[in-house]
């Protein structure tokens, strides 16, 4: 393969929501304090929409939330946690019974297997308690990096634990539209956001982007005019100026 083509093949794919003007790291660094201030005003108490009372419950709920909505998980977990209130109880559970309780969340066989294995891991290696580090959490079945960051940022926001910025589909899309990153890979998006956002905001920031992504910055038809971040968002500003430049068509009477 010629060198230029080999280099292009190695280059990571740019995200599909990145604005036409691209991502300028210096510009992103200048905009980030105003973006954060606007997010703090619009979404001052942003945290997960999953219902939980203990770190164990949040860990299980987060594993169940893969490929389904938080509302669906919230409808399934009360019965699950009544029957299996902690890691010790879930570790001893009959798999068929757990499958029945999580059936509505989709992929229920894999999810039931994952949460029972996760509970066994908690009991066998962590005394039945959820560990407070990303490194330890990701060793548990069903708990990838995003899960670890969600659990720790809700249960023990920095500096009480070492969580990073979790990256889900909303965080990635909104970050690209705000021209904070051009990356697609969640771990690269996480690293880039962590270079921009102060560590004291690593719990708030992704939860605020999720609310923005479920609100005006929805995937298909973002409502730029309703968005509290419009003034600092290259995608929104490009769309607004394109709309202004569009020739007005006069209606014939």
CB of 75 to ligand SF4, least distance (A): 29
CA-closest candidate to residue 28, choices 212, 169, 177: 177
**233 near ligand SF4 (CB under 6 A):** yes
CA dist., res. 203 & res. 40, Å (int)? 12
Question: Active-site residue 146, yes or no?
Answer: yes
- Quick check: 241 and 228 in contact, CB under 8 A? no
CB of 192 to ligand SF4, least distance (A): 17
Among positions 181-220, residues that touch ligand SF4 (CB under 6 A) are 212, 216-217
- Quick check: 39 and 205 in contact, CB under 8 A? yes
Angle formed at CA 233 by CA 227 and CA 239, multiple of 5 degrees: 80
Report the residue from 123, 178, 193, 203 that binds ligand SF4 according to the rule CB under 6 A: 178
Q: Which is nearer to ligand SF4, 144 or 230 (CB)?
A: 230
**172 near ligand SF4 (CB under 6 A):** no
**229 near ligand SF4 (CB under 6 A):** yes
DSSP-assigned letter for residue 167: -
Measured between its terminal Cα atoms, the distance across the chain in Å is 62
Supply the residues annotated as catalytic.
146, 168
Q: Which residues sit at the interface with ligand SF4, rule CB under 6 A?
A: 174, 177-178, 212, 216-217, 222, 224, 227, 229-230, 233, 235-236
């Amino acid at each position: 393969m010629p060198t230029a083509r080999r280099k292009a093949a190695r280059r990571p794919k740019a995200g599909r929501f990145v604005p036409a003007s691209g991502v300028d790291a210096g510009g992103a660094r200048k905009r980030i304090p105003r973006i954060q201030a606007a997010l703090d005003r619009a979404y001052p108490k942003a945290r997960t929409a999953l219902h939980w009372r203990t770190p164990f419950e949040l860990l299980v709920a987060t594993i169940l939330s893969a490929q389904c909505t938080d509302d669906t998980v919230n409808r399934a977990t009360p019965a699950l946690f009544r029957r299996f209130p902690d890691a010790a109880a879930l570790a001893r559970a009959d798999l068929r019974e757990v499958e029945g309780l999580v059936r509505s969340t989709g992929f229920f066989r894999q999810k039931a297997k994952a949460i029972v294995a996760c509970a066994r891991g908690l009991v066998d290696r962590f005394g039945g308690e959820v560990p407070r580090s990303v490194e330890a959490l990701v060793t548990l079945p069903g708990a990838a990096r995003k899960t670890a960051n969600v659990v720790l940022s809700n249960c023990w926001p920095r500096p009480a634990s070492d969580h990073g910025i979790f990256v889900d589909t909303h965080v990635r899309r909104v970050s690209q539209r705000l021209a904070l990153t051009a990356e697609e890979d969640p771990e690269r998006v996480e690293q880039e956001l962590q270079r921009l956002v102060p560590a004291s905001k690593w719990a708030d920031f992704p939860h605020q982007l999720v609310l923005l992504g479920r609100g005006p910055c929805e995937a298909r038809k973002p409502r730029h005019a309703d968005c509290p971040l419009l003034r600092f968002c290259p995608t929104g500003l490009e769309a607004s100026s394109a709309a202004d430049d569009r020739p007005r068509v006069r209606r014939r009477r």
